[in-house]
Chains A and B, each alone.
Chain A
Amino acid sequence: MSRRKNNLYWNALSSEVVGIGGPVGLSSPHDRSVIALTTKEQPGLTDEIVPGIHVVTDLDSLALMNSKFTGPGTLAPSDLCLFVGYSGWAPGQLQSEIDVGFWNVASASGGFIRDSMFRNVMDTIVDPDGKRRPIDAHGFRAWASMCANLGLQD
């Protein structure tokens, strides 16, 4: 029996919206990877990707610790952006895709990433029946917002 079964933090996470991190780590029904990103830092449990954007290095430990201790220095479930699965490239593969023009590459501030990416992915509305629905379920708005802000589209 898992000790996480009755973990309040995991129970709270279960009601959060998640995005797709990529096609890897989704294939097996018993083996899925989850990545949690946040704009807040919890020392020892997060790593900084860029200033203002952090990744949770051990979600399991975070859940165990924060189910007992809460406060301004701890990450609440609502502070996390969850992504199931991830994407990866073999050595040199991504650069070759960039070279042939498959991707536009950009450097951005944490505020830009938060506003153009997370907010579009995670924002939801509540239906009259009480169900939460993502505003931008297919992600087009986030992509279009990124393109517009980077001047990639007319």
Chain B
Amino acid sequence: MRANANSAHRVSAPRLRARVARDAANHARRLLTTSRARPEDANDDADERAREGERAMDWRQFRARLIAKETSNETLAARVDAAAGEGGVAWAHGLVNAEKGAILVARDEDAASFWSHVVILLLGETRSTSRSSRVFEVVMGPRNAREAARGDSSGQTDDDSLFLFAPRRSHGVRFDGSDHQSHQVDHPVGGVSGGVEAKE
């Protein structure tokens, strides 16, 4: 798989990538428009069918198929086809630009860097208060909470290496940055304490 995936990633013609992305987006738009216009959408289970239809028409799969075809990557094509039929099958290919649901893999291998050996899943974009500006909200994959809580990016941990989110007094977290009340939360492992109630 590595060789084939690599060949997909090496495609360097930006115009080809842009065309593939544009075709995939246009195709997805056409398919979704068609599915919404069906008369049976008024039925009780219409929502569920629409969701299933949108999943089946995942434009990312369509784009992956195009890339596999353009790069003659048979392994990627087979995996995408299998994923469309059964679901849950793993496929991946390189991208030029970030988008919702994309993965960022750090190239930095400097162990002293906080961003060394990091994998990030882009959850989406949030419009900030300033007009026309957008900020990505993301989640970083592998990191040890205790390590980050100490501000220690050396990669060294001194005992359990396991952070337990274990509030003793109260619970609550802030997810959306809305108004909230703060409460002390103590954790039995590690030096982190704190928590926020999103609503009260």
By a beta-carbon cutoff of 8 Å, the part of chain A in contact with chain B is: 1-2, 4-5, 7, 10, 13-23, 25-26, 28-35, 37, 49-53, 55-60, 63, 82-91, 94-95, 98, 101-113, 115-118, 120-121, 124, 131-134, 136-144, 146-152
Contacts and interface: CB of A to CB of B under 8 A. Distances in A.
B6 interface: yes
- A contact face: mostly helix, strand, loop, or mixed: mixed
B12 to A, nearest CB: 13
B154 to A, nearest CB: 10
B194 A23 contact: no
A136 B176 CA distance: 29
B134 A29 contact: no
Contacts of A108: 90-93, 103
Interface of B: 1-9, 55, 58, 60-61, 63-64, 79-80, 83, 87-108, 114-115, 117-121, 123-124, 128, 132-145, 147-149, 155, 157, 160-167, 169-177, 182-184, 192-199
A111 B165 contact: no
A121 B135 CA distance: 25
A111 B83 contact: yes
B2 A148 contact: yes
B141 A55 contact: no
B6 to A, nearest CB: 3
Given A37-B139, A109-B91, A28 B194 contact: yes
B174 A31 contact: yes
B141 A139 contact: yes
A120 B196 contact: no
Contacts of A16: 164-165
A5 B169 contact: yes
B25 to A, nearest CB: 13
B31 to A, nearest CB: 14
A150 B90 contact: no
A76 to B, nearest CB: 16
B141 A19 contact: yes
B92 to A, nearest CB: 4
